[in-house]
Structure 1
Amino acid sequence: MLCKKCGHENGDSSQFCNSCGTKLNKSERHCIQNLKDKIKGFDKRKKYIILASSIVVIIIIIGIILFTNPTFRFEMAIKTNSIGKATTVFNESIKGNKKYEDSANTFLKGEISNVEKEFKNESIAYDKAKNKLDNIKGLGVASLEVNDAIKEIDNLNDSRTAFNKAEDYLKEEDYVNAIKQYSNVIKEDKNYDNAQKEIENNKEKYKEKVLADAEENANNNEYDKAVSLLSETDAIIKNDNDITTKLDLYKQKLNEIREKEKQQKIKQAQSEQLLIVDSCAVSVQDTQWKALYPDMLQAFVTNKSDKTVKNMNVGFLAYDSNGYPLKIKTQFSYSGGNFEFTGNADNINLVSGAQFGAGVGWKLDEKHGISTIKACVKDATFYDGTTWNNPYYQYWIEQYKEKQLK
């Protein structure tokens, strides 16, 4: 406090001036003290106002930075499942910028992993998980990871569904379908151990029913059904002698039936050919001057249709003197030849009932080495514009191509 008389600065608690001894005014001293307190209070509030203002400014600046950052906007759109907005941000502001693309890719991989974990932990339903992953897949980013994740949750969902179905079948004592469904439970499923336990507990009842059903199918000559049923069982109950014995027996029976049916089809296709190869051989034009008069592949073909043949293709197979297959190399061919050669005959005007082949053929390389040939018409075009593909040709190729003649 200042002394009014001498101007000396005294302490706030002083009653008399320490310099001249003049009594100091108490009310004046109290007023000054109040003023100082108000100043101090104002300074403190000012500090708070400045601090609060600074925080607001910082928040605004951070907000501006974040919302002008395309990767932040992209991430926010993905988290809120706004896939259209995410696509727009990516295409307009991220695509083409490696830094932003890498950031978006890393973020998406994390999101994909989280969705997969949530589904495995059963904290998210399958439909919701699938929807999220499908949306991410639509962006065309992190394609490998999202495809793998979709496959994983699909497999796990199928496994959980199979387990629930198996439980229902078991309650109905339908052991065949129960075991089938239990066998579809995968190791990644928490129900896997229970599924394996149920398979073991009900194996004998399952096996008994399967063997009975398979025998009934066999008695009805439905060997394909018997084989299918026993093959499924063999994959579930491995190395069971009763199952494998019956399976081998029914497979043999089925193969016999199929072979018989096949031979009937071959015989029918052969008899229904419109163009028949009556005979074929390697025609020797000259024994000495092979370059000028090369040997030829020759086939005599009769037209059994009621139409005139304009063009046709004839397939040839060749063999050496021991009946082993040879590659056919034609004249002026620079390749090693092929086991199946197709000879094209154009504008042959082969009328109904007539035969083609006299004096014509397909020229061979000088060193062809061919002793025997086989031939079959592959297809033909008639003058009326229709075509014919020989149904027997594929059976013929299957029977003779690259196989030894017997």
Structure 2
Amino acid sequence: MSLAVSLLLCAMCRSVSSAEDPYMSRALKLMSETPLIDGHNDLPWQLRQQFDNQLNKVDLNTLETTHTNIPKIKTGRLGAQFWSAYVPCESQHKDAVRQTLEQIDVVHRMCEKYPNALMFATSSQDIAEAFKRNKTASLIGVEGGHSIDSSLGTLRTFYHLGVRYLTLTHSCNTPWADNWLVDTGSEPSQHDGLSPFGKQVIAEMNRLGMLIDLSHVPIRVMHQVLDMSKAPAIFSHSSAYTVCPHKRNVPDEVLKRVKETEGIVMVNFYNDYVSCSHTATLADVADHFDHIRTVAGSDIIGFGGDYDGVERVPEGLEDVSKVPSLVAELLRRGWSDQEVSAALGNNLLRVLKRAEEVRDSLNKLSPDDVPIPSEEVKNPCRTDDGYPNGGAFPSLSITALLLTLALQYLISRGTS
């Protein structure tokens, strides 16, 4: 073969190899028009684990021990992120509220330290504004109802600090809600789903405009919330049970109810929930997207990567920067531009706007200040402050006696 022919073949190979993947080009175009909104990222927990939340000791521009840093965020075209304010179940009845406040604080400080990349956000309007400014809208989700210590006042305080969803349980029952392990048989049900106070929590979240997150709850709680919530519910990081029968995933019957109630399931990338094994691929994740679309349509689908909260992620989705490859794969599988845009962010924006509308419609209601019954939260680390008689309600006989004495007093006053 002549030198000229060899050079020509090499040039042709370089031309072919450098040609853009038309699906990737289309994916990047769609991501420039609609914000990719991810439902769950545990970078704040990694900052706690690796640096004890000392942001002065870490540079998110160069950090390489996490799935997430600012260059990866930019490459991944991440338009908005719900950062998880997660603390472990071991903190329940102890210092869960303090630890959660520290995780909320670290998200605020991330946004303050990197204002050119991140913008703190609390609303659908904020997400649109951040996208316009080419910044990642940074919202907060509290992962686990144990973080509110069975207190509606704490729930409201979290909302005022910017929290826009609460995952009702993590991997432990709270005094008012069962967790997903109940469905595995490894933990007993304590409340048959939600207790009466748990239903108060749901109603108060509706009044506030806080999204109800059903990842980590058993099927019974899923149905109870879908029955009673005035606003659509979300699954911030769960996948399809039919594709991978793990109890953290969502069964078809619930997918259909999410469609009826106009909620959203944001697909998780954790290998164990994707393929039910230690290994998985990008194509396996796309299978979950396809299945949910088949069962309930593209209008209930979103992205909920769970980056930095899991040990194993699929080949091809090794970190936040790889998400455009998944978007391209959906297009390759025949998803329309409209369907992809819905999954990228339009579905979550619709759900958040609806929660805001429900909040506005309930603005005449007073905050619920009826506490959880003291006997449901008694433990050595909790005082009885706020409960009359140390949390005990007077018996009927004592109540009758008090009423009799009061009546006698009024009669004596009237005859004196």
Structure with larger Rg: 1
Give yes or no for TM over 0.5. no
TM-score, with length taken from structure 2: 0.17
After TM superposition, the score normalised by the length of structure 1 is 0.17
